[in-house]
Amino acid sequence: VPIAIIPNAGYSVVSAKLVYVSDGIPVTTNLMNAERFRMPAADVTVIVEFSANDYTLTLDANGGKVEPATLTVTYDAAIGTLPAPERTGYTFAGWFDAEGKEVTAETVYTVAGDSTVTAKWTANEYTVTFHANGGNALADDEITVTYGAPYGELPKAERTGYGFIGW
């Protein structure tokens, strides 16, 4: 009888055996790598053991730094602890897959192969305070700026007897 043991995506066959009783004696036949077997004149039970595969999850820090840069994950299991990357001037906003879905430690890995998640960042905002150094009081002595973005128009200071050359 031809036989083919085909596991579901993300799984491998660990063992496969045929069990039956012949003349009152239990018989077990290994089916691993078998293409055919002779069907006995008895009822048979086929026992197949499957195991979830391990895959590599690559962590793309997207301009930041992360250690480790890869994790071993198991199909159909929670990913587990993900490291937090670092990037100057930015706050880490999470790991995301190719479809834009957030990936967390609780996310169950369902890709039957290696994959990559990418860090998402939010630029930090900072308050810049201007001191006129003896000049006139400024109407706007503070502005909020976003890291990596232009400051925009800055206030101009005046002081009698001096020329303002910049901040």
Residue matched to tokens 């967390």: 104
Contact indicator for 108, 75 with CB cutoff of 8 Å: no
Tokens, residue 52: 């979830």
Neighbours of 143 (CB within 10 A): 15
Residue matched to tokens 């587990």: 80
pLDDT computed for residue 99 by the predictor: 96
Q: Which residue has the higher pLDDT, 5 or 85?
A: 85
Which range of 14-23, 69-78, 151-160 scores highest in mean pLDDT? It is 69-78
81-118 pLDDT, tens digit each: 999 999 999 999 999 999 999 999 999 999 999 999 99
145 pLDDT above the threshold of 90: yes
pLDDT computed for residue 32 by the predictor: 86
Spatial separation of the C-alpha atoms in residues 105 and 107, rounded to whole Å: 6
Spatial separation of the C-alpha atoms in residues 26 and 21, rounded to whole Å: 4
Spatial separation of the C-alpha atoms in residues 84 and 103, rounded to whole Å: 12
Q: Examine residue 68 and say whether the peptide bond preceding it is cis (omega within 30 degrees of 0).
A: yes
109-143 pLDDT, tens digit each: 999 999 999 999 999 999 999 999 888 888 888 99
* Percentage of the chain lying above the pLDDT 70 cut: 100
